[in-house]
Structure 1
Amino acid sequence: MQMNKEERFVNPYNFIPFERKCERSKPEINRNDCYTGYFDCKITLLTPLFIPNTSSDTRLVCESDRKEAAKRSEEDGKNVEEEFKGYDFFSYDDWSGEKAIDDLKEAYPPKEPIIPGSELRGTLRSVYEAAFNGCMSSVSSERILSRRSNDVMKPGILMEKKEQGDKVGKKSGWILKPCKKVGITFRQCSGEYENWKEGQEIWFKPRGRGNICDNYEVIEESTYAEPKEGGKERYERAQWKKEKYFKGWLHKGEPIKGKCHESIFYSPDKARENVLSCDVDALKKLKQEYGTSRYNEYKVDPKGTLVYYNRKGEHIYLSPACIGREIFTKSITDLLEKNGGYMPCTGSGDKLCPACQIFGMLENTGKHVSYSYASKVRITDAKLIQPAVDRDKLFDAPLVLPELGEPKPGCVEFYTESPYELTEEKAHSDKYIENREGYWTYDYKDVGKINHVPLEKNQPKLRGRKFYWHSNPDCKSIREKTGEKLSAMKVRIRPMKKNNQPLFCFRVYFEQLNKQQLQQLKWTLDFEDRNCAHKLGRAKPLGFGSVKIQVDALVLREIDFKTGIWREKVQDIKTFFPNPIWNNKNRTNLKLIADWENKPDNVRYPCVKTAKNANADGGDDAAGYEWFAQNKGKMRFPSFMKVLPKVAEDALKDLESGKALDMLDRK
């Protein structure tokens, strides 16, 4: 494969960098600078929009889909019909009790489509946080950071160690026994492999050459963690030892159709390596991440667990797979805390960031004491300005979305900044490319070919807040590309068509905001820029969900102190906010990625183009992972060839080829 420097693409998302520090303060109300009222707003759909009605996930699943599911279930030996999903557009209709349909034509679109206020609220809060230095309120503190390792790991046996002498039997941490490994050709026809347990005791006789054997004997129901020690077993072991068999234990890998080889670990080394408890905890998390379909029998047993391992610095990375995933010791919350304190405002007492002071927060600690702050903003559901005369004209025909396998936070070349130092010589070099340094993860960076240097607690630095670029989706090309067949990763939806005129209206109620907060809220709605638009709903990477919000009116509620009656007074917005909000670096970047009129070309995820699809629109989505694999360079000595450009760079139409992202061609 090779990079095609003449075919640049723009990744569907980029990041708005953090400022130096997330400033928090105690919320205060100044009665002389306090406003209550609402904004009247309208929404124009610049692209098709889809927001799912989750009352039924099979409303757009029909008889032909069920026949296809039955056929696949018979071929694969498992029920795949339950995986099929088909959502209609959001409305107040409850379709949970509807019967299955025979044809998609029977599923009429909703008469009164709705954009829920919760959807608008989430979008607006994200914009406010980025524009006015709020915390990362929606970040998941429980999210595991991991990535597939470049190294072929070594076999070993993990177990709890015990103290010697007077403290015999007392457990005191974990140790690792390095092992050797040999492949075994098991007898598929006998069905014996299915009855073997993880760690099954197997005695084998190696061949003269190679690392595969097919001459073996088994101690039934005996594993490394639970060995059988009866007279019969002792006799069999003694006989096989005389015949020069080796004692080993079976490690069962992933279940793969047609698989005929597995691994046997044998000859544990007398040397011992101490293992940190956090590394063992990481192995347990990795097992959870793999789920039940992979390594379903695998568990961490204190008496003995077969593992693959690799030491890097003070940590030993453990995995059930020879080339597996590394679970990193740092979390997103750790890095947010060490780089400006942008973790959510939970646990910060009564001091809140600017966003939480307006949109509220709730600290759910699970303890008797928690802290919450009520929202000062309420956003209504967006409804049609005019009732639909012909609802079929509002919607496009149902279509099947392609698989959206986007990169995850483990892809540090997109989600973090390079931890390598920028020397003065490099900074003044026209040929210097930031990403040509090497390879790094959340825990370490490579220096030279084999040295892994641990990163500081505040490294690598996160790029910032994730936002999607605008683009023009083509429903026709999506249909041609995905067809009509559903799968676990392909969902059918009914999108709403784009509209050149305002289609929806909603209100944003606010209470006890000062004038600065009120103007910031208004900026969040319309960016104070006619070219800018928001992103709503599903399928944003494909270009869906670009909407423009127009603020029509500002109405303030005032009390008549003589009569005690509340009165509503319409304000002239230009007079009420005579001076626009100045653009700092973050707001400038945010407006670049929100700019509908000057959106970038060829927005898509990384992919590989082959001879078959060279003339097609787009690339081979199924092989998108290959782009990241090739981008890391050589497996043994990786070095990133490309990193995600900065927002201001990505917005340039003529970005230099060294920094721009390029398609991969498979020759």
Structure 2
Amino acid sequence: QKSRTRAKAPNTAYSRRHKVSLQGLQHGDSCWAIIEKVQHPLRRFKFWNVVALARKRQDLPKVSDGQRVVQGYLCITNQNIENKHDERLFFRAPDNTSVSQPLELSGTVRQHYEELIADYQERHRDAVQKRRKKGSPDEPLGREPAFSRFITQRTKKDEPKLKDGDLVYATLKRKGMGVEVDFIVPVSVPRVGYRRTIGELLHPDDLSACQDIEHLCPACRTFGWVHPSGKDDSQAAVAYAGRVRFTHACRRPGNGDSGSFSATLSILSTPKPTTTRFYLRPKQGKPRDGLPDSQVNYDADSQILRGRKFYRHHGDQLSEQEYKSPDGRKSDQNRTVHDVQPSGTEFEFTVDFENLAPIELGALLWSLEMEGWHHRIGYAKPLGFGSVIIQVTELEIMNPNSRYQSLVTDGWENVLSSKERWIDEFKTAMAGRYGTEFYKLPNVRDLQALLSDTPPLPVHYPRSTKEPQPEGRNYEWFVGNKRSGRNSGPR
């Protein structure tokens, strides 16, 4: 493969360095090598470059000045990056005295490694199966890189992901007068799991799951609850049945019969959790500029998750430039949707509820109508699809006394005129509970900002260019953002 770094730095020691052949050698083979230090032309570090490689020491050529002979193990992770040009040799330098004895791996370190590999394999499972139909996933296919070795091997659930002799990268940490293994990973630039769980990152008063059936929030009381720990104590209540059911929404007859269309959508992006400032906020106060990455990550005690995920309302008119794939171009990364309904199409559905207290019914009614703000329903919400306004047009409750005391009436009563009264009861209860006006509650203000008819703003994924890119290269913005803080300094 051609090296982009070489192209940017011609006539340097790096660009002229010798490339050895790996023919006849396999991952994990014990080898002898001649190595020499080379200065990286674009970054301020030196690295050991292998200039000769052999199974036996006597098969190596003569050593030149500035070179040394080492014994090590060959680590081959496949052509897993498009412009990758090197594999790795694991060796111990004679002057390396940081660890004099083998280190034990704790059960926790092993477990985290197994979980990491299993996660890698699960994320790429469908893509690997698709590649197997065309060729080996361990080899590049056209411009598509190969998959890393650890993704395609030992994929069965009962297979251990870590065996004696495996080559891994380890991070060490101080322990008393010595060191211990903090974690191990399969590649030099890995995805590493954080120690704090999602539950530990949630704001305890806003987002944590209810723990006790005697202290359920309005949402759990209305839609149902299951004990988060899954406890099997036969004497304790571990679930609460929901009291609300939704039917399918059906298009109203004669409404939206014409105007539906098909569209090949732009490539949808994926979450970028490593851009931690998108997902975290301080426990106290507002986010601050200039903090180093070490203080804004998922293991930092001062940080919590910002909140629930929302797709902002894009406005009444969507821009085809933003949601359509250029020239209708199709790929294995985008989707084509059919029978998309035009703006203004109306649907009907029914919400069945039972045994709701007046305040709970008011909460349900407000949550449905939500001041005329927009619910976000269905597919392609990041591109602006699925903005829906819900109106309660009928409201009926069954009066048990009327039903069972009369042979004439069925007990159903139209109570639409009481809708606003129940909504007001809910608002009054919330204002009294939290000590502020309903519309000044932080979560209500957030909903209004996200889902109301705000001024038409350009809502799209972060990108490095003003106009959308046909290839959907949204990752370039995130790469550039990371590089701007390469040394984890203030940003």
1:385, 1:503 within 8 Å by CA — same for their partners in 2? yes
1:539 to 364, 370, 380: 380
Give the letter aligned to residue 395 of structure 1: S
1:484 to 328, 336, 342: 328
Give the 5 Å matches for 1:636-655. Answer: 636-640=487-491
Distance 1:265 1:374, change over 3 A: same
Displacement after TM superposition at 1:519 (Å): 0.4
Q: Does 1:635 align with 2:478?
A: no
Distance 1:185 1:283, change over 3 A: farther
Determine the structure 2 residue equivalent to 1:625: 475
Distance in 1 of aligned mates of 2:423 and 2:168: 66
Distance 1:407 1:639, change over 3 A: farther
Distance in 2 of aligned mates of 1:471 and 1:621: 22
Q: Does 1:417 align with 2:273?
A: no
Distance in 2 of aligned mates of 1:387 and 1:551: 20
Distance in 2 of aligned mates of 1:607 and 1:620: 12
Structure having the higher helix fraction is: 2
Displacement after TM superposition at 1:368 (Å): 5.5
Distance in 2 of aligned mates of 1:481 and 1:505: 31
2:280, 2:303 within 8 Å by CA — same for their partners in 1? yes
Distance in 2 of aligned mates of 1:367 and 1:351: 17
User: How large is the Cα RMSD of the aligned pairs?
Assistant: 3.6
2:231, 2:238 within 8 Å by CA — same for their partners in 1? no
Give the 5 Å matches for 1:146-157. Answer: none
1:465 to 285, 288, 308: 308
Determine the structure 2 residue equivalent to 1:212: 49
What secondary structure sits across from 2:271 in the alignment?
coil
Displacement after TM superposition at 1:258 (Å): 7.3
Displacement after TM superposition at 1:240 (Å): 7.2
Displacement after TM superposition at 1:289 (Å): 3.1
1:406, 1:605 within 8 Å by CA — same for their partners in 2? no
Per-residue CA deviation, residues 463-508 of structure 1 (Å, 9 max, x unaligned), is 11111111146464257643333322111111523333x6111111
Give the letter aligned to residue 543 of structure 1: G
TM-score normalised to the size of structure 2? 0.70
Distance in 2 of aligned mates of 1:587 and 1:247: 65
1:264 to 89, 93, 112: 89
Determine the structure 1 residue equivalent to 2:363: 520
1:418, 1:435 within 8 Å by CA — same for their partners in 2? no
1:593, 1:599 within 8 Å by CA — same for their partners in 2? no
Distance in 1 of aligned mates of 2:347 and 2:342: 12
Determine the structure 2 residue equivalent to 1:303: 164
What secondary structure sits across from 1:247 in the alignment?
strand
Q: Does 1:340 align with 2:214?
A: no
Give the letter aligned to residue 604 of structure 1: H
Per-residue CA deviation, residues 608-656 of structure 1 (Å, 9 max, x unaligned), is 01xxxx5x4x45874432323333433123333xxxxxxxxxxxxxxxx
Distance in 2 of aligned mates of 1:324 and 1:378: 44
Q: 326-335 or 619-628, which moves further after superposition?
A: 619-628
Determine the structure 2 residue equivalent to 1:437: 291
What secondary structure sits across from 2:355 in the alignment?
strand
1:289 to 95, 115, 119: 119
Displacement after TM superposition at 1:302 (Å): 4.8
What secondary structure sits across from 1:468 in the alignment?
coil
Structure having the higher strand fraction is: 1
Displacement after TM superposition at 1:351 (Å): 3.9
Displacement after TM superposition at 1:200 (Å): 1.9
Distance 1:630 1:478, change over 3 A: closer
Displacement after TM superposition at 1:367 (Å): 7.3
What secondary structure sits across from 1:436 in the alignment?
coil
Q: 364-373 or 377-386, which moves further after superposition?
A: 364-373
Give the letter aligned to residue 205 of structure 1: I
What secondary structure sits across from 1:255 in the alignment?
coil
Give the letter aligned to residue 114 of structure 2: K
Give aligned-pair identity as a percent. 23
Give the letter aligned to residue 212 of structure 1: N
2:322, 2:460 within 8 Å by CA — same for their partners in 1? no
What secondary structure sits across from 2:167 in the alignment?
strand
Give the 5 Å matches for 1:221-370. Answer: 245-256=69-80, 260-267=85-92, 270-272=99-101, 276-291=106-121, 293-296=147-150, 297=153, 300-311=161-172, 316-336=182-202, 339-340=204-205, 342-345=207-210, 348-349=212-213, 351-363=215-227
1:469, 1:599 within 8 Å by CA — same for their partners in 2? no
Distance in 2 of aligned mates of 1:339 and 1:276: 31
Distance in 2 of aligned mates of 1:524 and 1:443: 32
Distance in 1 of aligned mates of 2:462 and 2:406: 65
What secondary structure sits across from 1:202 in the alignment?
strand
Distance in 2 of aligned mates of 1:575 and 1:260: 68
Distance in 1 of aligned mates of 2:50 and 2:320: 55
* Structure with the larger RCO, 1 or 2 (CA within 8 Å, 6+ apart): 1
Q: Does 1:380 align with 2:255?
A: no
Distance in 1 of aligned mates of 2:185 and 2:246: 47
Q: 256-265 or 325-334, which moves further after superposition?
A: 256-265
What secondary structure sits across from 2:342 in the alignment?
coil
Displacement after TM superposition at 1:462 (Å): 1.2
Q: 585-594 or 623-632, which moves further after superposition?
A: 623-632
Distance in 1 of aligned mates of 2:323 and 2:213: 51
Determine the structure 2 residue equivalent to 1:407: 271
Distance in 1 of aligned mates of 2:359 and 2:36: 79
Give the letter aligned to residue 601 of structure 1: L
2:446 to 563, 570, 589: 589
Distance in 2 of aligned mates of 1:259 and 1:438: 30
1:283, 1:327 within 8 Å by CA — same for their partners in 2? no
Structure 1 unaligned residues grouped into runs of 5+: 1-182, 219-235, 428-432, 445-454, 641-667
1:470, 1:599 within 8 Å by CA — same for their partners in 2? no
Distance 1:621 1:361, change over 3 A: farther
Give the 5 Å matches for 1:554-565. Answer: 554-559=395-400, 560=402, 561-563=404-406
1:496 to 340, 346, 349: 340
What secondary structure sits across from 1:403 in the alignment?
coil
Distance 1:250 1:239, change over 3 A: closer
Distance 1:276 1:435, change over 3 A: farther
TM-score normalised to the size of structure 1? 0.53
1:577 to 414, 422, 434: 422
Q: 466-475 or 540-549, which moves further after superposition?
A: 466-475
